[in-house]
Amino acid sequence: PTAIHRQDYTPPDYRIETVDLEFDLEPSSTRVKARLAITAAHDRSGGARPLVLHGDALELVSVALDGRVLGAGDYRLDDKGLTIAAPPPAFTLDIETRIDPAANTQLSGLYVSSNVFCTQCEAEGFRRITYFLDRPDVMATYRTTIRADRAAYPVLLSNGNLVEQRQVEGGRHVAVWHDPFPKPSYLFALVAGDLACNEDRFTTRSGRDVTLRIFVEHGKQARTGYAMDCLKRAMRWDEERFGLEYDLDLFNIVAVSDFNMGAMENKSLNVFNDKYILADPEIATDADYAGIETVVAHEYFHNWTGDRITCRDWFQLSLKEGLTVFRDREFSSDMRSRPVKRIQDVRSLRARQFPEDAGPLAHPVRPDSYIEINNFYTATIYDKGAEVIGMMQAILGQDGFRKGMDLYVQRHDGQAVTCDDFAAAMADANGVDLGQFKRWYSQAGTPELAIEGSYDTRAGAYEMTVTQRCPPTPGQPDKAPMHIPLAMGLLDAQGQDIRLRLDGETADAAAPGRVLAVTAPRQTFRFVNVPQPKALSVNRGFSAPVNVTLAQGGAERAFLMAHDSDAFARWEAGQQFATDLLLRRAGEIQRGAPTPFDPAFVEAVGQILRDESLEPAFAAEAIALPGEDYIAERMDIVDVEAIHSAREALRQAIATSLRADLERIVAANASPGPYTPDAAAAGRRALRNVALGYLAASAAEAPGTADRLLAAYRAADNMTDRMAALRLLVDLDGPQRQAALDDFHDRFRDDALVIDKWLALQALSALPDTLARVTALLGHPAFALEKPNKVRALIGSFTAGNPLRYHAADGSGYAFHADRTLALDPINPQVAARLLAPLGRWQRFDAGRQAKMKAALARILAAPKLSPDVYEIASKSLA
Ligand code: HT7
Ligand code: ZN
């Protein structure tokens, strides 16, 4: 496989103005007729250029140019597509292809999921439907005719407006759709099936009456209410926050059970993984509800940031994804608690994106090359991309950011553009220079900030020195300094923010917190007129996605935990305090000499438990320890056993010292009545379940723990509490564990999404025989390699979510991973490749594990007929 380079971009030689598609749907043999109106994009002084249409896994039936059927000598077919050497400057091309949707296990292009025809065309799936200029800078208007058996597929959908529907001979019917908005082929969609529908309406602020429909399997309509509510809230929010209004009379969503990702923003016909639509208290956890809110909003927001304004080429993917994640985060922050949302996003960034940025797959937010674009739907493109947008807002302010968005839409509506175009709109609307800031797009790696502060009592001045460094990443050994917006503050002895003024600023610049522009490799900020500070608070709100080194003792961290005016920074102080303790304990475990934990930490946790002024959702986050993966990132050589033991020991120490507080929290936050998914109720459940988790950590001291958890499992009247109890039980060997797992399976055996949870829970267990159980579950009727949700639930949970057992010293976890990858690759290479990242982290482990991880990667690479997807990840991981 060969790499594609950003620098090689050239505009298309031909434009496709209109696309007329006709589908004759049969599961194993679907006929697709495409009529394309094509014009040469360049002046032809140098003669006609060849027209190269992409195609993949297509059977060509016929091709005609301006009505003349072409013979084999008139065009060339190869594994990349169809080439016509010298077409006229403007012409019509009629192409007929035959495809086999039922055999499409890759789930890219047109496929069948539980008897429903559906498409997934991003990134390059349209070429698996017909020959086409399948690149995002070719935007056309589409008219789509769908013909199918009326009884089996009563619902026929595509993008845009329904212009005609009629019955035809042979028990078939036809629907014709027309989408007036030009779009790239990756936004094309078609759905046909026997689906139930939940219909609602929304009136836009300018008075457009929009019909909203959510299509799901029959019997599941009752589970679509929350998604519909989210959609309407998202539509209103986008009008209010960004002035962006929906632009058609119809907005359709379809949920399917087999989907490679979460959802897809096809113009006016979003297609979703069931997981991000279906919810009721019996089957969905609070996290599931929050996920639905985020993903429904995200796909809707793409209507402007992705569909109306799209990417020029796939190197610009973050243009739409980073921006749209930023927008969905802002939406969720407005719907829920902003600090809690920020904490959760940072946890996820540190768990997924920071390791990616520190490993062999590190790439810039705007990558320079790729082999397989499907491998670049990464945490860096999405989540770091969203951080970059968030930093722009931090620099420009919310009003300045809005001005930039307005200009971006005004300039580029209907176009396929670049990240530079976006940054230019932001800069021009605000009259600022974002030249240095744009290095966030081009330089990979997580910057490290070393911060030192010192107070000069005599001068009444505080100096903060910041040194920045960005570690080398593949292909980028040296980095230039970044522009880092660093929010910070100083607290006095009462925990109040000190008003801060930089040397040289006038008195009216003084403010209780500042956002500093860190731009140089080493920079000192001198604040004047400062009374004696007690604690320094940095990177408030996680204003920049960086790692900070700041020498702070336990007392200072505990003080910040209790007093910082920035809620995120309070949480962060607790995380860093816990991380210090856990790293120290892990080292002591390795040396065989554990010492007691600093009681100041346990006391600080106790204070949080007793502080009734705190939002429960925040308290839940504030008392939850950093994950094992985060601690691992901070160790020179990862020792999964020592990390696990250290973390368990700290959990036990907290449980032992704070038992009474924890019991009170569990009792006080018991469900007050029927389940509601709102943020406040979810926060109480979260706090209660974290407290229950601590109590379960001391199972050895409290012998009735397993019975208690089984009782909690049985008493639960919602999936959040049921799962919380079961998650704790699966780590305890005993009859209660099996009783609960069996009960769970029996209750929910017909609910695929819930059985995914059952698979995942078992894969996440800390018990030593977990791999054997996971291997046995591969043969369970509920599992199928063809179903991405099952693969992610069972295999993905084990390989990415269970470091203790995945990194077993004997290498069994790695061998399992290689075997599963090789089995999955011929079925669904996208999913196989996306699961592979944990093997690439071998540099972080001891020599024995390194050798076994590399051997697993080498075994994958040695396989004949590997997909480009898996080849790219495995080869880069070994490099
Ligand atoms: N834009 C969508 C990305 C996506 C996707 C990409 C590759 C293969 C399958 C896929 N399904 C969806 C989803 C989004 O970010 O909104
Ligand atoms: Zn997206």
Q: Is residue 553 part of a domain?
A: no
Q: What SS3 state is found at 499?
A: coil
Q: Is residue 696 part of a domain?
A: no
Q: Are residues 45 and 181 in the same domain?
A: yes
Residue indicated by tokens 């690479």: 861
**What pLDDT, on the 0 to 100 scale, is given for residue 672?**
80
How far is it, in rounded angstroms, from Cα 275 to Cα 263?
9
75-90 residue pLDDT tens: 999 998 999 999 999 9
- Atom 12, ligand 1: residue with shortest CA distance: 264
φ, ψ at 141 (rounded to 5°): -95, 145
Domain end marker among 158, 193, 228: 193
**What pLDDT, on the 0 to 100 scale, is given for residue 154?**
98
**What pLDDT, on the 0 to 100 scale, is given for residue 698?**
79
Which residues are bridge partners to 22 per DSSP? 33, 145
**How many degrees, rounded to 5, is the angle at CA 380 between CA 336 and CA 251?**
55
Ligand nearest to the backbone CA of 869: 1
- Among 367, 363, 343, CA closest to 353: 363
DSSP 681-728: HHHHHHHHHHHHHHHHHTTTTSTTHHHHHHHHHHH-SSHHHHHHHHHH
Q: What is the CATH number of the domain that holds 456?
A: 2.60.40.1840
Q: What is the CATH number of the domain that holds 435?
A: 1.10.390.10
> Cβ-count burial of 222 within 10 angstroms (0-12 exposed, 13-18 middle, 19+ buried)?
exposed
Of ligand 1's listed atoms, the one at least distance from the Cα of 295 is: 16
Q: Of all residues in the chain, what percent carry a pLDDT higher than 70?
A: 100
Residue 662 Rama label (left phi>0; alpha psi -120 to 50; beta): alpha
How far is it, in rounded angstroms, from Cα 13 to Cα 42?
6
Position 654 confidence tier, pLDDT thresholds 50, 70, 90: very high
Q: Residue 452 is part of which domain span?
A: 448-544
Reply yes or no on whether the pLDDT at 702 is more than 90: no
The tokens of 714 are what? 């049985």
The tokens of 260 are what? 């490679």
How far is it, in rounded angstroms, from Cα 197 to Cα 75?
45
Question: Edge to edge, what strands does the sheet with 263-264 contain?
Answer: 196-203, 209-216, 250-256, 269-273, 263-264
**What pLDDT, on the 0 to 100 scale, is given for residue 671?**
83
**Neighbouring C-beta atoms of residue 72, cutoff 10 Å:** 7
The tokens of 542 are what? 């996680």
- The average pLDDT across 91-98 equals 98
**What pLDDT, on the 0 to 100 scale, is given for residue 255?**
98
What's the 306 CA to ligand 2 centre distance in angstroms? 8
- Atom 14, ligand 1: residue with shortest CA distance: 264
Entry pTM:
0.98
- Among 162, 191, 196, CA closest to 178: 162
Reply yes or no on whether the pLDDT at 692 is more than 80: yes
782-812 residue pLDDT tens: 999 999 999 999 999 999 999 999 999 999 9
Of ligand 1's listed atoms, the one at least distance from the Cα of 321 is: 15
85-117: b (≥16 Cβ within 10 Å) or e = eebeeebebbbbbebbbeebbbbbbbbbbeebb
Q: Are residues 853 and 807 in the same domain?
A: yes
- The average pLDDT across 326-342 equals 98
Reply yes or no on whether the pLDDT at 413 is more than 80: yes
Q: Is ligand 1 within 6 A of the CB of residue 121?
A: no
What's the 819 CA to ligand 1 centre distance in angstroms? 26
**What pLDDT, on the 0 to 100 scale, is given for residue 614?**
97
**What pLDDT, on the 0 to 100 scale, is given for residue 705?**
93
Side chain identity, residue 607: Q
Of ligand 1's listed atoms, the one at least distance from the Cα of 125 is: 8
Q: Are residues 3 and 126 in the same domain?
A: yes
How far is it, in rounded angstroms, from Cα 224 to Cα 198?
7
**What pLDDT, on the 0 to 100 scale, is given for residue 52?**
98
Position 595 confidence tier, pLDDT thresholds 50, 70, 90: very high
Q: Is residue 71 part of a domain?
A: yes
Q: Is ligand 1 within 6 A of the CB of residue 628?
A: no
The tokens of 109 are what? 């292009």
Q: Is ligand 1 within 6 A of the CB of residue 621?
A: no
Which residues are bridge partners to 469 per DSSP? 448
Reply yes or no on whether the pLDDT at 838 is more than 90: yes
Active site residue 572: no
Ligand nearest to the backbone CA of 325: 2
Q: What is the 3-state secondary structure (H, E, C) of 573-610?
A: HHHHHHHHHHHHHHHHHHHCCCCCCCHHHHHHHHHHHH
Domain end marker among 150, 166, 193: 193
Whether the bond into 64 is cis, omega within 30 of 0: no
- Among 716, 348, 288, CA closest to 729: 716
- The average pLDDT across 378-396 equals 98
**What pLDDT, on the 0 to 100 scale, is given for residue 135?**
98
- Cα torsion 335, 337, 338, 342: sign: negative
What's the 474 CA to ligand 1 centre distance in angstroms? 25
DSSP 437-486: TTHHHH--S--EEEEEEEEETTTTEEEEEEEEE---BTTB---PPP-EEE
**What pLDDT, on the 0 to 100 scale, is given for residue 495?**
97
What's the 177 CA to ligand 1 centre distance in angstroms? 23
Q: Is ligand 1 within 6 A of the CB of residue 296?
A: no
DSSP 727-741: HHHTTS-SHHHHHHH
How far is it, in rounded angstroms, from Cα 439 to Cα 384?
13
Question: How many alpha carbons lie under 13 Å from residue 585 in its C-beta half-sphere?
Answer: 24
Q: What is the CATH number of the domain that holds 808?
A: 1.25.50.10
Residue 682, Cα to own-chain centre: how many angstroms? 21
Q: Which of 56, 119, 120, 261 to mutate to test the pocket of ligand 1 (most atoms within 8 A of CB)?
A: 261
Q: Is ligand 1 within 6 A of the CB of residue 377?
A: yes
Q: What SS3 state is found at 158?
A: strand
**What pLDDT, on the 0 to 100 scale, is given for residue 197?**
98
How far is it, in rounded angstroms, from Cα 644 to Cα 631?
10
The tokens of 877 are what? 């991981």
Of ligand 1's listed atoms, the one at least distance from the Cα of 259 is: 11
- Atom 13, ligand 1: residue with shortest CA distance: 264
What's the 263 CA to ligand 2 centre distance in angstroms? 8
How far is it, in rounded angstroms, from Cα 849 to Cα 777?
25
- The average pLDDT across 209-236 equals 98
Q: Which of 276, 377, 378, 867 to mutate to test the pocket of ligand 1 (most atoms within 8 A of CB)?
A: 377
Q: What SS3 state is found at 239?
A: helix
Ligand nearest to the backbone CA of 829: 1
DSSP 436: T
Q: Is ligand 1 within 6 A of the CB of residue 298?
A: yes
**What pLDDT, on the 0 to 100 scale, is given for residue 42?**
84
Q: Is residue 585 part of a domain?
A: no
**What pLDDT, on the 0 to 100 scale, is given for residue 699?**
74
Position 701 confidence tier, pLDDT thresholds 50, 70, 90: confident
Q: Are residues 429 and 454 in the same domain?
A: no
- Atom 15, ligand 1: residue with shortest CA distance: 321
Q: What is the dihedral angle through the alpha carbons of 12, 18, 22, 28, rounded to the nearest 10 degrees?
A: 20
Q: Are residues 314 and 405 in the same domain?
A: yes
**What pLDDT, on the 0 to 100 scale, is given for residue 551?**
95
Q: Is ligand 1 within 6 A of the CB of residue 9?
A: no
How far is it, in rounded angstroms, from Cα 314 to Cα 54?
15
Q: Is ligand 1 within 6 A of the CB of residue 566?
A: no
- Among 265, 283, 269, CA closest to 226: 283
Q: Are residues 41 and 179 in the same domain?
A: yes
Q: Are residues 388 and 458 in the same domain?
A: no
**What pLDDT, on the 0 to 100 scale, is given for residue 679?**
96
Distances (CA, A) of 780 to 343, 745, 747, 758, 818: 37, 12, 16, 12, 20
Q: Which of 264, 296, 376, 383 to mutate to test the pocket of ligand 1 (most atoms within 8 A of CB)?
A: 264
Q: Is residue 206 part of a domain?
A: no
What's the 375 CA to ligand 2 centre distance in angstroms? 15
Q: Is ligand 1 within 6 A of the CB of residue 261?
A: yes
Q: What is the CATH number of the domain that holds 150?
A: 2.60.40.1730
Reply yes or no on whether the pLDDT at 700 is more than 80: no
Q: What is the 3-state secondary structure (H, E, C) of 38-101?
A: EEECCCCCCCCCCEEEECCCCEEEEEEECCEECCHHHCEEECCEEEECCCCCEEEEEEEEEECH
Residue indicated by tokens 């609910």: 751
Reply yes or no on whether the pLDDT at 308 is more than 90: yes
Question: How many alpha carbons lie under 13 Å from residue 398 in its C-beta half-sphere?
Answer: 4
Q: Is residue 835 part of a domain?
A: yes
Mean model confidence pLDDT for the chain: 97
**What pLDDT, on the 0 to 100 scale, is given for residue 398?**
98
Q: Are residues 491 and 408 in the same domain?
A: no
Q: Of all residues in the chain, what percent carry a pLDDT higher than 90?
A: 98
Number of domains forming the structure of the chain: 4
Q: Are residues 873 and 780 in the same domain?
A: yes
Reply yes or no on whether the pLDDT at 45 is more than 90: no
CB 408 within 8 A of CB 426: yes
Q: Are residues 378 and 495 in the same domain?
A: no
Reply yes or no on whether the pLDDT at 448 is more than 80: yes
- Atom 10, ligand 1: residue with shortest CA distance: 261
**What pLDDT, on the 0 to 100 scale, is given for residue 703?**
82
Contacts 24+ apart (CB under 8 A), 571-577: 571/339, 571/343, 571/618, 571/621, 571/622, 572/539, 572/542, 573/537, 574/604, 574/605, 574/608, 574/622, 574/623, 575/626, 575/630, 576/552, 577/601, 577/604
**Neighbouring C-beta atoms of residue 643, cutoff 10 Å:** 25
What's the 417 CA to ligand 1 centre distance in angstroms? 19
Q: Is residue 433 part of a domain?
A: yes
Q: Are residues 418 and 479 in the same domain?
A: no
What's the 320 CA to ligand 1 centre distance in angstroms? 11
The tokens of 879 are what? 């490099």
Which residues are bridge partners to 294 per DSSP? none
Ligand nearest to the backbone CA of 264: 1
- Atom 3, ligand 1: residue with shortest CA distance: 264
- The average pLDDT across 66-74 equals 97
Q: Which of 124, 299, 356, 387 is catalytic?
A: 299
Q: Is residue 63 part of a domain?
A: yes
Domain end marker among 142, 164, 193: 193
232-277 residue pLDDT tens: 999 999 999 999 999 999 999 999 999 999 999 999 999 999 999 9
Q: Are residues 497 and 512 in the same domain?
A: yes
Q: Is ligand 1 within 6 A of the CB of residue 258?
A: no
**What pLDDT, on the 0 to 100 scale, is given for residue 198?**
98
Residue indicated by tokens 């009592």: 457
